[in-house]
Structure 1
């Protein structure tokens, strides 16, 4: 019998996971369960969107109240993205994910049975907390669960997002045909509680703590146990190496040490991932509200036809999200983001210059091009590149900070650009908005870091000690993110 490999630190764990030729068995189930949390985040947002019209009528909401409900979740994610990253760094990846599902169940039920605006809003607050925590932690955990050769699969979260949105819209149509009347929004929002509860049970039963995180904390026996439990990898705990001993002895990296993300070799990585995250969220949420307008124009004014129209647009988002994994693998996350930003820039310019002056069928194709370029490029990469750009000791914190920046873009898109529309008109708003993908394109071309073009892994570079000023090798020599 061949001797079992010895695990002395994070690099050994990463090497064993990277040696896998496929993700199978329990590892595959766990992988999809973590992705399920991202499905829930999108589903919860779509649940409010699909039922917002009937809710507005039933509860007689003002335009201000509608804006508050719409922006509550992304606004809270500004705070709870880094909080989720901090929790995942301190106590592990799995506990925050389970906590997020509890908040999601409570928030969905509270909103579904609400009798007034304040109660609905409180439900959205809990959903926003869940959204902020889950997204920051899930991407970090997926990066640690996934062999490096399959890193591009993290981009599938974008297809999952659009699939979740489409699923909720389809369910809304079912409720519509069941003739539930103005309460359709309660069924739509309440269904998110069912999804959240199912994920809570599944994740509680199946998830195992990240072996990479355990090794970074010096808990090698547990890391070896979970390698076997998740992947069937038989290894044994060895004597901790120097890096593991140093990391164990050093103070845990937390919010106070977030400055490490903005020093040394991490600085360009943080700038690049933050700009991609900010740009993609701003352009999506700024233009997203216009898609129902196109839907109403093409498919008619009824709830049923408008919902079907929105599903058509989301279908292109699914296609782009699926393609993003391919483009990320072939071009790298940086160049695929640059190409996507370029496509979005051109689409927005044409939408602005031709708005109201071309046939409806042609006008329909421009938002389709926008969605495809967005979802196949920066839309997917905005989350993935952060998860793949940091070593395990700061990965969750890095994804949390990047998620926080992206949430600023969401809020800006929901609030700032509608104000510009009222002042300048829709066509000119598209022209103003085109600056966002242009700046994203310039940043992607200026910063050369790409975690998919790697020679050694970030975790093999060694953990970043709190206060370190840039101990990592040059990014061109170490361009991976594991």
Structure 2
């Protein structure tokens, strides 16, 4: 009978997970359940987007009120992205995900049954809390659940985003054909509560705490149990190595330690991931989120035509999201982001210079180019690169801070876009926005870090702690060296 491997710290857990050739069985179910939270985040945003026109008409909303409603969720996410990261660092990865679903259910129901602007806004506040917490924690947990050789799978969140958006648009068409009238937005927004409830039940029953996080806290017995429950990996808890002892004796990572992300080797990683996240969110939420309105301009003043047009655009987003894993693996996350920003820059320039001056076919192809380049490059990588750039002790905080920066971009895109559009018109707005992908492209070319081309952050961090412990006088043994 083969001897069970001994787990002495994070490095051993990472090595065992990375040794897997694929994710199967319960691990596969768990992996997609975590992805389900990202589906919900996108679905909740799309629910408001799809019903924005009827809601505006029914409630007689001003352009300022529309901007406030659309920007509220990402504005709250600015605060709750790092809060989610802090919670995930302190109490684990799974509890914040469950808390987020409760907020999502409450927010969707409150907005769906609202009688005025204020109540709808309060519902969006709760959705923003859920969005902020869930996205920061889910990406960190997925990174820890996934073997290194399959790290590109994290980019599939972008395809999931567009699948969720398309699903809500399909549902909106169903409600439209059921003749629900101006209340169509209530059905669209309220359906997010059903999705959140299903996910809450599934995650509560199936999710298990990250073995990597447990090991980082010195809870090796629990880490071993969850390795077996999730992956069927049978291991035994050993004596904690020097790196694990050093980590557990160090102060817990929290908001006060956020400065670590902007020092030493983490500084370029944080800058790169933040710029990619900021740029992709600004360009998507300024243009991609408003595809129904753009579709109205291209295809005519018909809800059905605009919705179908948006679905077609999103189909290319799904294709780009699926391709992002391939490009991320072949080019690396940095260069694939640079290529995507370059394509978006060209698309926005062309849209601005030719809008309403070219045949419908050309006007249709330019947003397609935008969506493809966005989703295959920076759209997917904005979240993935942060989740893969930090060691487990700061990973959730890093994804939270990066998510906060991305949410700021969402707010700017959602709030500023209607204002610029009203002042300059749609064509000139596209030209102004082209500056965003240009700056993203320059940053990606200037900073050379790419987690897919470097050693594991957990491995490097473990070696650093071991070296510090050794220099302080602790004897180094074979047990104190972690191998990936």
TMscore range, shorter length: over 0.9
Task: Indicate conservation of the 8 Å contact 1:89/1:396, yes or no.
Answer: yes
1 CA distance for matches of 2:176 and 2:360? 28
2 CA distance for matches of 1:351 and 1:39? 29
* Structural mapping, 1:25-40, within 5 Å: 25-40=25-40
Corresponding residue for residue 268 of structure 2? 268
List gaps (5 residues or longer) in structure 1: 469-481
Q: CA deviation at 1:432?
A: 2.0
Matched, 1:460 2:459: yes
**Partner SS state of residue 208, structure 1:** coil
1:414-469 CA-to-partner distances (Å, cap 9, x unmatched) read 22343333343332322221111111111111111101113x3110112688xx9x
* Structural mapping, 1:133-152, within 5 Å: 133-152=133-152
1:102-159 CA-to-partner distances (Å, cap 9, x unmatched) read 0001111111111222111111110000000000000000000000000001000000
* Structural mapping, 1:179-194, within 5 Å: 179-194=179-194
Corresponding residue for residue 312 of structure 2? 312
1:252-294 CA-to-partner distances (Å, cap 9, x unmatched) read 0000100000000000000000000001011111223553344
Distance 1:299 1:355, change over 3 A: closer
2 CA distance for matches of 1:391 and 1:305? 47
Task: Indicate conservation of the 8 Å contact 1:294/1:364, yes or no.
Answer: no
2 CA distance for matches of 1:260 and 1:142? 22
2 CA distance for matches of 1:62 and 1:423? 15
- The alignment covers a number of residue pairs equal to 466
1:64-94 CA-to-partner distances (Å, cap 9, x unmatched) read 2221111110000000000000000000000
1 CA distance for matches of 2:350 and 2:302? 29
Task: Indicate conservation of the 8 Å contact 2:160/2:318, yes or no.
Answer: yes
* Structural mapping, 1:15-164, within 5 Å: 15-164=15-164
Task: Indicate conservation of the 8 Å contact 2:288/2:371, yes or no.
Answer: no
**Partner SS state of residue 114, structure 1:** coil
Q: Which is further off, 73-82 or 281-290?
A: 281-290
Corresponding residue for residue 329 of structure 2? 329
Task: Indicate conservation of the 8 Å contact 1:158/1:379, yes or no.
Answer: yes
Distance 1:423 1:302, change over 3 A: closer
Q: Which is further off, 387-396 or 298-307?
A: 298-307
Task: Indicate conservation of the 8 Å contact 2:67/2:418, yes or no.
Answer: no
Task: Indicate conservation of the 8 Å contact 2:50/2:292, yes or no.
Answer: no
Q: TM-score, normalised by structure 2?
A: 0.94
Corresponding residue for residue 198 of structure 1? 198
Task: Indicate conservation of the 8 Å contact 1:84/1:400, yes or no.
Answer: yes
Corresponding residue for residue 475 of structure 1? none
1:392-424 CA-to-partner distances (Å, cap 9, x unmatched) read 000000000000000111111122343333343
Task: Indicate conservation of the 8 Å contact 2:6/2:238, yes or no.
Answer: yes
2 CA distance for matches of 1:163 and 1:75? 24
Q: CA deviation at 1:59?
A: 2.2
Task: Indicate conservation of the 8 Å contact 2:81/2:404, yes or no.
Answer: yes
**Partner SS state of residue 452, structure 1:** helix
Q: CA deviation at 1:164?
A: 0.2
Distance 1:268 1:409, change over 3 A: same
Task: Indicate conservation of the 8 Å contact 2:63/2:418, yes or no.
Answer: no
Q: TM-score, normalised by structure 1?
A: 0.94
Across the aligned residues of Structure 1 and Structure 2, the Cα RMSD in angstroms comes to: 1.5
Q: Which is further off, 255-264 or 342-351?
A: 342-351
2 CA distance for matches of 1:100 and 1:377? 28
1 CA distance for matches of 2:186 and 2:352? 37
Q: CA deviation at 1:357?
A: 2.3
Over 6 Å off, 4+ runs = none
